[in-house]
C-alpha cells in the first residue's frame, strides 16, 4: 500500500472532499473554509475501481457537511456516498 498522490509536498494531504471541482460554480462562496468539522468514522472499506487497483478509505457521515452542500444547491452527499478519507492505494 502507498499514500495517495496528494500527500506530496505542496499538496493538500489527508482531507475529506466536500465539494468536487466539477460541482464548483464561480458564484458559490464557501462560507465554511477553515472551519473544523467533526467526522465520525463509521467504517473502513476497500474500493476496487479497476481489477488491478484498490483504494483504502475510512467513511463517515456529517450532517453539517450535508447541510453545507444543500445550502449551495448540491445534493447532500457526493454521488450518494458517505464522506470519506482516502489513506492508501495499491495496484
DSSP state of 68: H
CA 67 vs CA 32, 48, 62, 64, 77: distances in Å: 11, 29, 9, 5, 9
Ordered per-residue pLDDT tens for the chain, 91 residues: 887 787 788 887 778 888 888 888 766 667 777 888 888 899 999 989 888 899 999 999 899 999 989 988 899 999 999 999 988 889 8
Q: Has this prediction a pTM greater than 0.95?
A: no
Phi/psi of residue 87, each to 5°? Answer: -120, -5
Partner residues linked to 41 by β-bridges = 60
Q: Rounded distance, CA 20 to CA 37, Å?
A: 18
Amino acid at each position: 500500500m502507498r499514500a495517495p498522490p496528494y500527500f506530496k509536498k505542496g499538496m493538500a494531504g489527508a482531507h475529506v472532499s466536500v465539494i468536487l471541482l466539477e460541482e464548483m460554480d464561480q458564484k458559490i462562496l464557501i462560507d465554511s473554509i477553515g472551519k473544523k468539522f467533526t467526522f465520525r468514522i463509521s467504517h473502513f472499506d476497500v474500493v476496487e475501481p479497476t481489477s488491478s487497483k484498490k483504494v483504502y478509505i475510512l467513511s463517515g457521515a456529517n450532517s453539517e457537511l450535508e447541510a453545507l452542500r444543500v445550502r449551495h444547491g448540491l445534493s447532500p452527499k457526493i454521488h450518494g456516498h458517505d464522506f470519506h478519507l482516502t489513506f492508501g492505494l495499491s495496484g
